[in-house]
Structure 1
Amino acid sequence: MRIAMLIDLFYPYQLGGAERQFYELAKRLAKRHEVHVYTLRLMGREREEVHEGIRIHRVGLAHPLNKRSILALLSFFPFALIALLRDLRKFDLIHANQVAGLLSFFLWPSKRPFLVTIHDLYLGKWESFAGFPLALAGRILEQILSRGIYSCVLTVSRYSARKLLLLGAKRVAVVPNGIEIKAYGSRRKENLVVYVGRLVKYKHVDVLVKAMSKLKTKVKLIVIGEGEERARLELLARQLNVDVSFLGYLDEIEKREVLARAKVFCNLSSIEGFGIAVVEAAASGAAIIVRDLPCYREYLSEGSAVFLSDEEANDAEQVARVIDELLKDEEFRSSLAKKASEDVRALDWDFVSERIEELYRWCLE
């Protein structure tokens, strides 16, 4: 197969699960097929390059590494459309990520299968972290995106699939995210609590920082990731005089090294379509604390994590109590970690890529 993939940010830019998914998928597909990725230009990178068999075409305005540039991101869509229209006859099918799916409205006359991966929708939660104009725009965008002209809509959980169907999406297939299981492992554990993800309001990292000031056990919090909340969170940590290290973005090897040493991983996010960092932490032998969202229940069984209600997840004292309990009771912590590690073994990228390849073949039939 000759496959065109559309994603605004791609290797070596690694913001989150979406970018990681497309990179891991493209890398595996390129071993058996001709894979082209159309993505945004990155500062310091060539416009055209081949990486692990993936033919990367960079278009639009140059985007800085590991930072957000709205102007550059907006430039991706017209430039990607022009480049793809130029090369369209080369490809058997097109696979877009998230908002790049909007290009389906312009490409449908080609009659080529067009798949889109939509990881999650915010639906009624836009107002919880965005003002009126942005929240309204977000709601409208999700409506349009869900009803694009697609051969198939891929999403990462049944929870996200239900939301897509509510907005009118057709032919929705659930394929979970994955990790390279064999790359993860547990080392000698330290009194570390780790968070990995974007630093934005709905992730509620501020509650975790506040919980650090209420712990009875001496522990260090490591925060991996970037976002507009970082400066506020760093100020909060200084004001509370708690032991928190904000490491920003780490490459995969560095991130795995931190997770391998962590006794506890905590994610209090109120919006998640899948939660790839939770899977990575589970594979690393950390005990998991999460807000009780439906997506986690699809791969974590009862007794493999501490699931907090909304009330508990928003309460720093409750979060601190759970962390203290896990750190003081090693038998309990280890039993949770062992069960979670067993639960995520099936979520390997090789399996995930094979499932998506099957969907490609189905769309071509």
Structure 2
Amino acid sequence: MEGLKITFVYDVVYPWVKGGVEKRIYELAVRLAKSHEVHVYGYRHWEGSAEIERDGIYYHGTVRVGKLYVGSRRSIIPPMRHAVSLLSQLKGERFDVIDCQASPYLPAYSLRTLGLENVFITWHEFWGDYWFEYLGEAGFLGKTLEKGLFSFERHISVSQKTRLDLLSAGLRRPVFLVPNGVDYGFIRSVRPSELESDFVFIGRLIPEKGVDFLLRSLALLKREFPDFRGIIAGDGPERKKLEFLARELGIEKNVTFTGFLRDYADVIALMKASKVFAFPSRREGFGIVVIEAMASEVPVVTGEHPMNASVHLVEDGKTGFVVPLDEELFARALLLAYDNSKKLGSVAGERARRYDWDEVVRVLLSVYRGG
């Protein structure tokens, strides 16, 4: 079958920036590039020519940026400059598929201005009214720009939660589900760490991840399991506060804070050396770390929350547990998962196969060709 000319449009680019969206684009692009011509348009993070080839992918740098964030929020100026640059860089170009990530919204409007066809909008989250909570009255602009993307014909969602949010918000066009993935074979090849634990959390230490809630749940669990071993892997602005809370709760000898792990293999090794993955996140666009835990044959306990998409990844009672964000109930679920870790983990490992990146690419191509 004839190869396609495909381009991905986002702002930041992997491996210069290593977030979830840019990692997804890279994993898809590097596999697609084996049989198709693949381009990526994003910020010019690198030195030298604005156009480079790497891993079989053609990268097109739009604008150079300094700081991506103003305080804790992404700056709006770089996306605006990026969107303007796309108007000149993409003028006259023709692609079989343009996969444009919904956020930061503005590049999609550049594609519309140019009259480019075969555009897919890929949604990682849908905020809707959450914009007002995030920005106050100024959230009206974010909500308007977000809702304006409903006018595009083709849509992809990376999670079932986001797909349902889009349909509930009034999107009247098909939304294809193409999830994030993992390198299943690599995860299976990693040897467990020597640092064993009963319960592990891995992620950025920010309020939305709910690590404070997890620590309070572990303190309750200690009544029945006084010698439990817990690990909090990751770093972030909440770390000192959380370490103080662990001391205050009397579990500082039970819980180890490892800090940020630079080597991905070390992350997986730590996961595989634990009995249960605890994930009380209150806001998650997908939850790729949940699939990594499943592929490591580690059951997952996560909490019910309207903005936690990872609840759709865990089969309650089969690959882990989904429970209300109540500390007592969460503690009980952790113990139940611990007692049934081998059985739940075995099922989780099998379920994770469907999220292998090679399988995700197969699904994506069928959407591109039939969508």
Q: Aligned to 2:199, which of 193, 198, 220?
A: 193
Q: Which residue of structure 2 lines up, in the alignment, with residue 102 of structure 1?
A: 106
Rounded to whole Å, the distance in 1 between the matches of 2:166 and 2:332 is 36
Distance (Å, rounded) in 1 between the aligned partners of 2:75 and 2:137:
23
From 42, 46, 49, give the equivalent of 1:39. Answer: 42
Q: Is 1:322–2:333 an aligned residue pair? A: yes
- Closer, same or farther in 2 for the Cα pair 1:233/1:51, shift >3 Å? farther
Look up the match of 1:144. 145
In structure 2, the residue matched to 1:263 is 275
Residues in 2 aligned to 1:301 and 1:324: alpha-carbon distance in whole angstroms = 17
1:274-353 equivalence runs, <5 A: 274-292=286-304, 295-296=309-310, 298-310=312-324, 313-315=325-327, 317-327=328-338, 329=339, 332-353=340-361
Listed as ranges, the matches of 1:195-210 within 5 Å are 195-210=201-216
Preserved CA contact (<8 Å) 1:39 1:76: no
Matches of 1:267 and 1:285, distance apart in 2: 15
The AA in structure 1 aligned to 2:30 is K
Which of 116, 123, 129 in structure 1 is aligned with 2:121?
116
Structure 2 partner of 1:30 = 33
Higher relative contact order (CA 8 A, sep 6+): 1
1:142 positional shift? 3.8
Greater per-residue helix proportion: 1
* C-alpha deviation, 1:135, in angstroms: 4.4
Give, as a single letter, the amino acid of the residue that structure 1 aligns with 2:102: Q
CA–CA distance in structure 2, aligned partners of residues 238 and 286 of structure 1: 27
Give the distance between the partners of 2:105 and 2:36, measured in 1 at CA.
22
Q: Equivalences for 1:52-131 in 2 at 5 Å? A: 52-63=55-66, 74-92=77-95, 93-108=97-112, 109-125=114-130, 130=133
The one of 182, 185, 193 equivalent to 2:185 is 182
For residue 221 of structure 1, the aligned residue among 206, 224, 231 is 231
Distance 1:105 1:111 in 2: 10
| SS in structure 1 of the partner of residue 170 of structure 2 | coil
- Answer yes or no: is the 8 Å Cα contact 1:119–1:160 preserved in 2: yes
1:188/1:31 Cα in 2 relative to 1: closer, same or farther (>3 Å)? closer
Aligned length in residues? 352
Q: Structure 1 residues 270, 79: closer, same or farther in 2, change over 3 A?
A: closer
Residue 181 of structure 1: CA displacement? Answer: 1.2
- The answer (yes or no) to whether the contact 2:15–2:23 under 8 Å persists in 1 is no
Residue of structure 1 in register with 2:170 after alignment: 168
Q: Please say if residues 155 and 175 of structure 2, whose CA atoms lie closer than 8 Å, have aligned partners that are also in contact.
A: yes
Q: What is the distance in 2 between the residues matched to 1:45 and 1:197?
A: 34
2:260 maps to which residue? 248
**Structure-2 residue corresponding to 1:361:** 369
Q: C-alpha deviations, 1:160-215, integer Å up to 9, x for none?
A: 11211232333321112211111113755822422233433232121113334442
- Structure 2 CA distance for partners of 1:111 and 1:58, relative to 1, 3 Å: closer
Q: 2: CA distance between counterparts of 1:360 and 1:255?
A: 33
Q: Deviations over 1:87-111 (max 9, x none)?
A: 3433313211231443222322423
Identity of aligned pairs, percent? 28
Query: CA offsets, 1:257-281, max 9 Å, x none?
Result: 2222122111112233432111110
Contact 1:16 1:197 in 2 (8 A): no
| TM-score normalised by structure 1 residue count | 0.82
Report the alpha carbon displacement of residue 75 of structure 1 after superposing the two structures with TM: 0.9
**Residue 156 of structure 1 aligns with which residue?**
158
The C-alpha deviation readout for 1:206-258, integer Å capped at 9, x for no partner, is 1113334442233031323x544344334434544622314225343232222
Contact 1:8 1:73 in 2 (8 A): no
Unpaired segments of 5 or more residues in structure 1? none
Contact map agreement 2:282 2:303 (CA 8 A) in 1: yes
| Alignment CA distance shift 1:12-1:326 (3 Å) | same
Q: Closer, same or farther in 2 for the Cα pair 1:143/1:64, shift >3 Å?
A: closer
Q: CA-atom RMSD, angstroms?
A: 3.2
Where 1:89 maps in the other structure, the secondary structure is coil
The gaps in structure 2 that reach 5 residues or longer are none
